[in-house]
Amino acid sequence: MTLTFLLVAVGALDLTRSRRRGARWVVSAAVGVLLMTFGWLGLGLSPFVTLAILAIGFAWLAVMPWSGRTEAGTAPAPSRLWPVAGLAAAIVGASALDVLSPPTSQSPLELVYSQALVSAGGGPMSGIRFAVITAAIGVGLVLVQTSNVIVRAALGPVVQGGDVAADGSRSAKKRLKKTAEAAQATTVASGGSRPGLKGGRLIGPLERVLILVLAFTGMFTVIAAVIAAKGVVRFPEIAGDKGEGSKAEEFLVGTLTSCALAAAGGLYLYAVSR
- Structure confidence by residue, pLDDT tens digits, 181-238: 444 444 444 444 444 445 556 778 888 888 888 888 888 888 888 888 877 776 666 6
Please report, as a single letter, which amino acid is at residue 130. F
pLDDT tens figures, 29-53: 899 999 999 988 888 888 999 999 9
Q: What is the pLDDT of residues 114-144, one digit of tens each?
A: 887 777 776 666 678 888 889 999 999 999 8
| pTM recorded for the entire structure | 0.78
Displacement of CA 27 from its chain's centroid (Å): 19
Angle between helices 24-37 and 2-14 (to 10 degrees): 160
Q: Which residues contact 264 (CB under 8 A, 6 or more apart)?
A: none
Within 19-108, strands assigned E span none
Burial (0-12, 13-18, 19+ Cβ within 10 Å), 105: exposed
How much of the chain exceeds pLDDT 90, in percent?
A: 22
